[in-house]
Amino acid sequence: MKVKVLSRNPDDYVRETKLDIQRVPRNYDPTLHPFEVNREYIRALNATKLERVFAKPFLTSLDGHRDGVNCMAKHTKSLSTLLSGSCDGEVKMWDLTKRECVRTLQAHEGFVRGMVVGYCGTFFYTTGDDKTIKKWKMEAPGYGEEEEPLNTILGKTVFTGLDHHRKDGVFATCGQQVDIWDEQRSTPIRSFTWGVDSFSCVRFNPVETELLASCASDRSIVLYDMRESAPLKKVIMTMRSNTLCWNPMEAYHFTCSNEDYNLYTYDMRYLKRPATVHMDHVSAVLDVDYSPTGKEFVSASFDKTIRIFLKDGGHSREVYHTKRMQHVICVKWSADNKYILSGSDEMNIRLWKANAAEKLGVLAPRERRATNYSEKLKEKYQHHPQVRRIARHRHLPKNIHHQSKELRVMRESRQRKERNVLKHSKPGSVPFVSEREKHVVTVVK
Amino acid sequence: MIDMAKVSKKNMKKETIVKKSRGMTESSAATEPRVVYDDGDDEEEHLNEENLSSEEEQEGEDGASDERKRQKLLEAISALGGKRKNKLGERSEAAVHMSEFTVNADGGGDKVDLSDLIGNIDKTQAVPNKTKNQLKTLQQNEKTIETPLSKQESERIQRNVAFHKVATEVTQWKGIIQQNQKAEQLIFPLNQEPSGPRAMETVVTCWKAQTPLEQEIFSLLSANKQPIHNPILTPVEEATLKAMSFEEAKVRRAELQKARALQSYYEAKSRRERKIKSKKYHKVLNKAKRKDFLKQFETMVKTDPAAALEELNKMELARMKERMSLKHQNSGKWAKSKAIMAKYDEGARKAMQQQLEVNKDLTQKLVTSLNNDQEEEEEEEGGNPEVIPEFVNDAEQGVDSSNPWMRGKLFESPTEREVSDTVDFTEEGPGIMVNTAEEEEDDDEEGTEEERLLREFDHRRRLRQAEEADIVAVITVEHEEENKAAGACVSVLEEEEEENKAAAACVSVLEEDEEENKAAAACVSVLEEEEEEEEELSKFKSVFQGIANTHLDAEVEKAEETADTNHVDTHLEEGLMRIRTLEDVALLSQMESVADQTPVQPLTSPTTENMLSTTKMVGKNSKRKRGIELKQVLTKESKVIQVPLALTVEDKEDSDEMLDQRGLIKEAFAGDNVISDFLKDKRKQEDVGKPKVVDLTLPGWGEWGGMGHKPSRNKRRKFRIRTVPRPPRKDQHLPSVIISEKRNSSISLHQVNSLPSPFVNHTQFESTIRSPIGRMWNTEQTVNKITNPKVVTQMGAIIEPMAKEELMKNKKQVSTGNSSGVEPIKTKPMKHTKKK
């Protein structure tokens, strides 16, 4: 009699080393695992809930300034170093890992208006209300040495902004005019004027490094090419833009923060209308900075909040606020895409996570896989009302909430009126103006 | 006015004088301009002017103010005339402005003509002719040069040009930006250093050989192009590494893989072929090979005679070997045994003859242009084997002649004949068999008419047989097809039969399609009807279909698949008609999964007509759709056997166990009658949905009323309000299902009610939702692939802005991609893995 013995190949169930995961044979027959959509939906729902539970974006606040923080600068080579300048002319250097101030220097009398770190990271420039541009060494002076700038340039007028070229020893300032300076010279190598007498911000394009853009007090944004003798183009908007920031991954996109509570992303080739209007703030937007991946940007507002927008999203995906944070004047996105730094009126610099629910530190492979999976689930089920409701729920301070409601009502009534006017007038006599076109007055060639 | 004309004349004169004086000055350099004036009156005039000018300075405003006023007046008048023209910028000699007070109103005198300046250029020899000509043409040209643009305008143009330049420059990035937007995954920092150990020379750059020994060694190494630092690649290897990009490497690898696969296939094939034992097969194969080879050889003779000669030599060698050896000579053990048998056995004789044929084949000289007659003769000689027993020779003769006893020859198939025939023998189809036979007859004189007749008969018989066989084959095929097709609807047919027989008080019908596949067992159970549910039950039926498909042949499976797909299709179509929102999808998917899970599969039972038509239509390809329409089978009087609702898979082996199980279930659910409850429920649902008749007749209204006085029929008809009947319920034909057509608000909370933006239609959206991404439903690799995050950043790495090099890289990549025609599989924006 032949006896059939049930036997299995040990290769199928014995693992090679102890460190391997136990091999689990799996039958993927869909009939054995029914209700896949429903189960995944529940998982997605739970993932979103957990995300909200773990969303604790605030990491730390760096205090030490004796006046409001007016400007900040990221170090180009070191992630842990941050420079901040306050309204009393003091500049502080921070070590973010230790969360402490490592160096303090009295750079200017009056405001520190602008600050930028050179491309090599060994020096930085500051400019202030005392009409000077000062170049400082990154290292602290040795024992017994005095804190002195490497170089001081005395200007005729106040400089309000400063930016450094990404690769060359060239920097740009703005004040009554936009000046391009060589590091080696004490006079600007080029000055641009175009009928305006005060600029608030100038920024180099990080990709096409010879291009610049500036915000002027006549509500305009002006584009320049460093190689040309004249500016390129100017767009005048309904309200003044405070700052602007170029997208570090897309050469022709920049975003400006406007006084009319909105941010506008422009394609520099088509200035007639912004590519996107980003709404949500309830007060003037004071500063904007792109994430280094170019996918998102963060904005600081007078309404005491920070908001994170997708680069092509009309509304913010995130809002950060704390009870103690006052008007946020400057904001930066750290170069590793993980953190956001905000400097505000009440003398503090705050460190936030860029993704509120993200776990910091090293993830185990299984952990990473689990997070990836839940991220994908959330993305997949994002349109489902329950998921969306949970994912989009944010707590807002009362006054901001009310203001936003008020603004919404105002906007709606305005829209209603426009609609009615359009409806009750002769067809063709009242043109339809889209939201994007509304805010551009004219483009000056 | 006359006066003015005079003055102008005077001026003209004066000018000529000046010209003259110019000529003078040119000829004689050192003369004072004052002295040049030689005409008397002119000089006086000039002197007067001079005086005037000097007087003006001295005298004061009188004359001057008059003159100015006049000038102003004139200007005002001229301005009145029309639009003001752009005044051309004028250049004039200072010498002409002797006095601004004597200037004429028209200002003609002030203008310096080109002719005035170059009038006497003809006379001077120093000026070359070419310049003179140029000046002349210039003189003729009346046009004035336009004024330069205003500063604002010129700046605007400048700006415009600069802007367009910049815009085109910036537009170059469009490709990269779009690529990045579309990319499945972006890994930041973009220009990442390759991980792993770095090359030693990159790390240690300043180290140098110092001692003489070291220097000697290094010189040797460098001379031989060997790696200097320990485990690093040689320059050649490095070059190859650099030469091959990631994409190329991928393509190359794919090619290699393919080649390897092909090789393995080929190996397997040859192994398989080698294992084939059929001699005939090998014979045919060898022959084909030989033929091929001959063909090739012929072509080779034309194209490459040297190689052909070589081949010929080889063949010759093979032939020699064959001749030397005793192979195929009928001298072996086998041949001897056959020889003994040959007397009695036809087959043996034939085999031996074949053997000899093979020998002949192999030892035959090839007839090519290269060999000569002698060899042919030799071949003929060689053709007769020396060591052959007699009967073999007889047999051979028998082959050659048409031996009446060699019936085998008659039955030989053409292929066999081919095998046995020599090279010069032409192939013959079966149609010309007789002819060939005749030929053979001609060849051999022994042939008789008898034989011919025999052959003819034989041929006819074979033809007939072949026809029959064909028919039979067709029939069998048809039969098979029928079986296949009919298998699905056997049950239906049987039902029809039963219907025809009319009756069928029964019943529970257990059906097994044994003659077909023994695969599906349909268990039809009719359930007990209760008194109040009599009419209900005639409609009701439940069909339990146990599917035990352990050994289905391929055809059955195929049929099953088609049937399944049909089934799914119909479901999908229904879905398309019905599904509006995701909630329906969810419901649907749930239902599907439920249906999948439970083997109890309710079959639709439309009316008999429907059923018939559908079976006619579908019957052929839907094999698995077997179920019995209880409606047809059952009538009210049916005798009932109660079968519990549990799944009843009919397995013959363990039917006892099943019975036990059944008994158990029966015991367990002895108290509650599930099915009747279900039926009640369903009927309740239906009743609720049914339109109700509202009777609004008021007795006594408009006519007599009172006890026993009914309102007239007319009135009743008038006031009875019938609501419009609802559309038929969806579960109308589904006996064991209740489909609620009410919207469930608790579910709708979780459902998407508008199409999200990136999707164009709801099916798209549904399909994305429907496919699960978890590792419960997908393999590990798929899950990893699906759940890859869109943006990956490295911890603690500074992400630099996009560098210009990326643009160059992209351009290069695009160009190479176009040239090679290789599409990158994954649209990663930058090739980070590419060599660095």
Q: Which residues contact A389 (CB under 8 A, 6 or more apart)?
A: none
B819 or A237, higher pLDDT: A237
Between the two ends of chain A, the Cα-to-Cα distance in Å is 100
- Position A409 scores a pLDDT of 97
pLDDT number for residue B659: 64
| Whether residue B69 has pLDDT greater than 60 | yes
The whole-number pLDDT of residue B798 equals: 93
Coil, helix or strand at residue A168: coil
> For A7-14, what is the mean pLDDT?
82
Residues ≥6 apart with Cβ < 8 Å to B409: B399, B402, B403
| pLDDT for A281 | 94
Query: Of the candidates A33, A211, A231, which has its C-beta nearest B159's C-beta?
Result: A231
Chain B residues whose beta carbon lies within 8 Å of the beta carbon of residue A225: 162, 165-166
Of B162, B596, B796, nearest to A232 by CB-CB distance is B162
Is the distance from CB of A79 to CB of A126 less than 8 angstroms?
no
Could you tell me if residue B495 is left (phi over 0), alpha (psi between -120 and 50 degrees) or otherwise beta? alpha
For residue B558, pLDDT beyond 70: no
- Cβ–Cβ of A249/B768 closer than 8 Å? no
Does B132 score more than 60 pLDDT?
yes
**Res. B432 pLDDT band, cuts 50 70 90:** very low
Measured distance CA(A43)–CA(B583) in Å, rounded = 18
Chain B contact set for A290 (CB, 8 A): none
Between chains, do B774 and A30 touch, taking CB under 8 Å as contact?
A: no
Q: With 60 as the cut, is the pLDDT of residue B557 above it? A: no
Query: pLDDT tens-digit profile of B331-357?
Result: 788 888 888 888 788 888 888 888 888
CA atoms of B435 and B450, how far apart (whole Å): 16
The answer, yes or no, to whether residue B10 has pLDDT greater than 90, is no
Q: What is the pLDDT of residue B64?
A: 66
> For position A345, what pLDDT does the model report?
93
Least confident span in A176-180, B341-345, B590-594, B821-825: B821-825
**Residues of A in Cβ contact (< 8 Å) with B753:** 385
Query: Is A292 in contact with B801 (Cβ distance < 8 A)?
Result: yes
CB burial of residue A221 (10 Å; 0-12, 13-18, 19+): buried
Identify whether the C-beta of residue B695 lies closer than 8 Å to the C-beta of residue B720.
Answer: yes
Confidence tier at B546 by pLDDT (50, 70, 90): very low
Quote the minimal CA–CA distance from B622 to chain A in Å.
22
Written as six digits, the tokens of B533 are 């549910």
- Confidence band for B8, pLDDT divided at 50, 70 and 90: very low
Four-CA torsion B391, B397, B403, B405, nearest 10 degrees: 10
Region of poorest pLDDT, from B126-135, B336-345, B520-529: B520-529
Q: What's the average model confidence in pLDDT over B401-414?
A: 42
- B417/A254: higher pLDDT: A254
Q: Would you say A152 and A159 are in contact if contact means Cβ atoms under 8 Å apart? A: no
Contact across the interface for A386 and B749, Cβ inside 8 Å:
yes
Task: Please tell me the distance from the alpha carbon of residue B213 to that of residue A162, in angstroms, as a whole number.
Answer: 58
Rounded Cα–Cα distance for residues B825 and B184 (Å): 11
Distance CA A399, CA B219 (A): 79
B625, B563 in Cβ contact below 8 A?
Answer: yes
**Per mean pLDDT, which range of A385-389, B206-210, B674-678 is the poorest?**
B206-210
More confident residue, B569 or A131: A131
In this structure, what DSSP letter does residue B110 have?
G
Choice between B524 and A59, residue whose per-residue pLDDT is larger: A59
Contact yes or no for A380 and B773 at CB 8 A: yes
pLDDT top residue among A377 and B234: A377
User: Does the structure show a pLDDT above 90 at A374?
Assistant: yes
Given an 8 Å threshold on Cβ–Cβ distance, is A37 in contact with B804?
Answer: no
- Specify the pLDDT at position B229: 57
What's the mean pLDDT in A82-93? Answer: 95
Predicted pLDDT of residue B833: 38
Exposure of A423 by Cβ count < 10 A (0-12 exposed, 13-18 middle, 19+ buried)?
A: exposed
Distance to chain B for A129, nearest Cα, Å:
31
Q: Is the dihedral of CA A419, A421, A425, A427 positive or negative?
A: negative
Any long-range contacts for B361-367 (C-beta under 8 Å, 24+ apart)? B361/B422, B361/B423, B362/B318, B362/B319, B362/B322, B362/B328, B363/B319, B363/B322, B363/B323, B364/B319, B364/B422, B364/B423, B365/B319, B366/B294, B366/B297, B366/B312, B366/B315, B367/B423
d(CA B73, CA B76): 5
pLDDT at A73: 96
Task: For residue A244, give the nearest of A260, A227, A261, A222 by alpha carbon.
Answer: A222
Please, what is the angle between helix B373-383 and helix B346-363, to 10°?
160
Q: Confirm whether the ipTM is greater than 0.90.
A: yes
CA of B189, closest CA in chain A: separation in Å?
8
So what's the pLDDT on residue B652?
A: 45
Q: List b or e across B128-162, with b for residues whose CB sees 16 or more CB atoms inside 10 angstroms.
A: eeeeeeebeeeeeeeeeeeeeeeeeeeeeeebeeb
What's the whole-number mean pLDDT along residues B246-256? 87
Find the CB nearest B597 among A31, A232, A269: A31
Please, what is the average pLDDT of chain A?
93
Count of positions (residues) in chain B: 836
Helix ranges (DSSP H) in B598-703: 608-618, 630-633, 655-668, 674-689
Q: How many CA atoms lie within 13 A of A357 on its CB side?
A: 15
Mutation for testing the A interface, residue in B798, B807, B809 having most A CBs under 10 Å: B798
The confidence score (pLDDT) of residue B519 equals: 38
The verdict on a CB contact (< 8 Å) between A36 and B797 is: no
CB pairs under 8 A between A and B: 168
pLDDT at B719: 87
Would the pLDDT of B769 be above 70? yes
Please report, as a single letter, which amino acid is at residue A176: Q
Report the pLDDT value the prediction gives residue B20, as an integer from 0 to 100: 45
Name the pLDDT band for B612 (thresholds 50, 70, 90): very low
Cβ count near A401 (within 10 Å): 13
In this model, does residue A222 exceed pLDDT 80?
yes
Structure-block tokens of residue B37: 């004036």
Cα–Cα distance, B433 to B331 (Å, whole number) = 34
Give the residue with greater pLDDT, B308 vs A343.
Answer: A343
| pLDDT value for B467 | 59
B197 — pLDDT class (breaks 50, 70, 90): low
With cut-offs at 50, 70 and 90, classify the pLDDT of residue A4: confident
Chain-chain contact of B789 with A375 (C-beta, under 8 angstroms): yes
Contact (CB<8Å) A34/B596: yes
Residue A159 CA to residue A126 CA, distance in Å, equals: 10
Contact between A293 and B163 using a beta-carbon 8 Å cutoff: no
Q: Is the pTM of this model over 0.80?
A: no
**pLDDT above 70 for B416:** no
Is the pLDDT assigned to residue B164 strictly greater than 80?
Answer: yes
Distance from CA of A130 to the nearest CA of B (A): 33
Segment A245-283, tens digit of pLDDT: 999 999 999 999 999 999 999 999 999 999 999 999 999
Read off the pLDDT of each residue in B670-683 and give the average, rounded to a whole number.
84
Give the pLDDT of residue B606: 38
pLDDT, residue A358, reads 92
Which ranges of B60-105 would DSSP assign to H, the alpha helix? 62-81
Q: What whole-number distance in Å separates Cα of residue B369 and Cα of residue B298?
A: 9
Residue B626 pLDDT more than 60? Answer: no
What pLDDT sits at residue B706? 84
Does the pLDDT of residue A315 top 90, yes or no?
yes
A331-353: pLDDT as tens digits: 999 999 999 999 999 999 999 99
**Which is nearest to B171 in space by CA: A269, A248, A295?**
A269
The tokens for B364 are 């035959």
Residue B511 has pLDDT above 50, yes or no: no
Q: Residue B629: which of B530, B522, B543 has the closest Cα?
A: B543
User: Cβ of A155: how many Cβ atoms within 10 Å?
Assistant: 19
Q: What is the pLDDT of residue A321?
A: 94
Nearest to B417 by CA among B429, B406, B407: B429
Element (H, E) at A263: strand A263-267
- Asked if pLDDT for residue B764 goes beyond 70, the answer is yes
Q: Which helix (H) or strand (E) holds B399?
A: helix B390-400
Alpha-carbon distances of B780 from A9, A40, B602, B773, rounded to whole Å? 22, 17, 36, 10
Chain B residues whose CB is inside 8 A of the A43 CB are: 774
Looking at residue B806, what is its pLDDT?
Answer: 82
Give all strands of the β-sheet with B509-512 in edge-to-edge order: B509-512, B520-525, B542-547
Environment class of residue B316 by beta-carbon count within 10 Å: exposed (0-12), middle (13-18) or buried (19+)? middle
CB within 8 Å of B716: residues ≥ 6 apart: B695, B697
- Is the pLDDT higher at B298 or at A414? A414
Query: What value does the mean pLDDT take over residues B606-625?
Result: 41
Local structure of residue B623 (DSSP, 8 states): -
Percent of chain A surpassing pLDDT 90: 86
- Per the structure block, which two tokens stand in for B617? 């239509």
Looking at CA atoms only, how far is residue A37 from chain B in angstroms? 6
**Residue B239, token pair as written in the block:** 């070059």
Distance, in Å, from the CA atom of B363 to the CA atom of B319, rounded to the nearest integer, reads 5
pLDDT score of B111 = 67
pLDDT exceeds cutoff 80 at B658: no
DSSP alpha helix (H) spans, B448-598: 449-501, 534-539, 554-578, 582-597
Contact between chains at A28 and B158 (C-beta distance less than 8 A): no
Phi first, then psi: what are they for B88, rounded to 5°? -75, 145
Identify the pLDDT of residue B479: 47
Contact B170/A373, CB-based, under 8 Å? no
Q: What share of chain B is helix, strand, coil (3-state, %, to 5)?
A: 60, 5, 40
Angle, CA B158 vertex, CA B156 and CA B162 arms, to 5°: 115
Which range is least confidently modeled, A147-151, B27-31, B154-158?
B27-31
Of A341-355, B276-290, B407-421, B686-700, the least confident: B407-421
Q: Residue A387: closest CA among chain B residues belongs to which residue?
A: B750
Q: Are A28 and B777 in contact (CB under 8 A)?
A: yes
Residue from B334, B310, B323 nearest B359 by CA: B323
Does residue B276 surpass a pLDDT of 90?
no
Task: Give the pLDDT confidence score for residue A245 in this predicted structure.
Answer: 96
Neighbours of A34 (CB within 10 A): 17
Candidates A167, A205, A250, A268, partner chain B, best to mutate (most B CBs within 10 A)? A250
Q: Is the pLDDT of residue B279 over 90?
A: no
Q: Which residues of chain B does A235 touch, with a Cβ-Cβ cutoff of 8 Å?
A: none
CA distance A339 to A330: 14
Residue A36: per-residue pLDDT: 92
In tens, the pLDDT along B440-450 reads: 444 444 445 55
Q: Give whole-number Cα distances, B435 to B440, B451, B452, B463, B718, in Å.
A: 9, 13, 10, 16, 97
Euclidean distance between CA atoms B246 and B432, whole angstroms:
65
Question: What is the pLDDT of chain B when averaged over all its residues?
Answer: 64
How distant is the Cα of B611 from the closest Cα of chain A, in angstroms?
30
pLDDT at B819 over 60: no
Q: What is the SS3 string spanning A233-253? A: EEEEECCCEEEEEECCCCCCE
CB contact under 8 A, A206 and B159: no
pLDDT of B834 strictly over 80: no
Least confident of A177-186, B130-139, B498-507, B650-659: B498-507
Largest interatomic CA distance in chain B = 167
So what's the pLDDT on residue B33?
A: 37
The residue assigned the tokens 């599409």 is B823
Q: Tell me the nearest-neighbour CA distance from B688 into chain A, angstroms.
A: 31
Report the pLDDT value the prediction gives residue B482, as an integer from 0 to 100: 45
